[in-house]
Chains A and B, each alone.
Chain A
């Protein structure tokens, strides 16, 4: 019996080499499309509302998730941006309309109203009193906590532009960044949990 060893010819090797290069190029292309492997431990919140109750829910979830070791990003857009404004006088050089936005949308965690049972401020006072009595952390405290848990805060630049909010009118927050939706969606797409509040 004769055993024939398949000796690769030069032509076979050239074909293999070409196929190998094609496959490598395909893998590189697919990897680029995927943008790397998603970080399974990331939460992204799009915070839209400036209501006290909604902001409390957003910060509670964000702080707990960060404490669980998740990478947390909060993207503030539209009305929610007011919650990140400092209190005090508005920046100089605003148009009349921008100034009106400033008057009608006061800044800071203290002046937020409820989405339900606001009752001209009575509801909020009641909720704040109950929270204090029951040891539930308020919005200002939760916003401070976000600094220590390492939550990343992004602010929508279009909202800032629309409402005439200046960068210097925003609260001091480590790493706070004004950016567009693309940056947010890039972060959200690489994580596995996204909320809109």
Chain B
């Protein structure tokens, strides 16, 4: 299995994490996961909304000590 793809947006604020994630997701084949790390408090609600709009699947979303990790499964 291929190494899981990650994008670390720590230190970046809205709207940059979502824009970065969207840029990264273009290179991910359908059915594969992208791990997104963020410490922007706007990120958890934003990633949910982004998945709803784009149709990608939010596999998991977890925030520990202000750092969020979202796993997005690419749907095309």
Contact = CB atoms under 8 A, between A and B. Distances in A.
B49 interface: yes
B11 A60 contact: no
Contacts of A70: 53
B13 interface: yes
Given A67-B50, A68-B53, A69-B53, A148 B23 contact: yes
A17 B19 CA distance: 56
Interface residues of B, number: 16
Interface string A125-162: 00000000011110000100100110000000000000
Nearest to B12: A135
Contacts of B50: 67-68
Interface string B1-32: 00000000001111110110111000000000
Interface of A: 41, 60-61, 63-64, 66-70, 134-137, 142, 145, 148-149
B63 interface: no
Given A69-B53, A69-B54, A64 B19 contact: yes
Nearest to A41: B53
B13 A67 contact: no
30 contacts: A41-B53, A60-B14, A60-B15, A61-B15, A63-B19, A64-B14, A64-B15, A64-B18, A64-B19, A66-B19, A67-B18, A67-B19, A67-B21, A67-B22, A67-B23, A68-B18, A68-B22, A68-B49, A68-B50, A68-B54, A69-B53, A134-B13, A135-B11, A137-B12, A137-B13, A137-B16, A142-B15, A145-B16, A148-B19, A148-B23
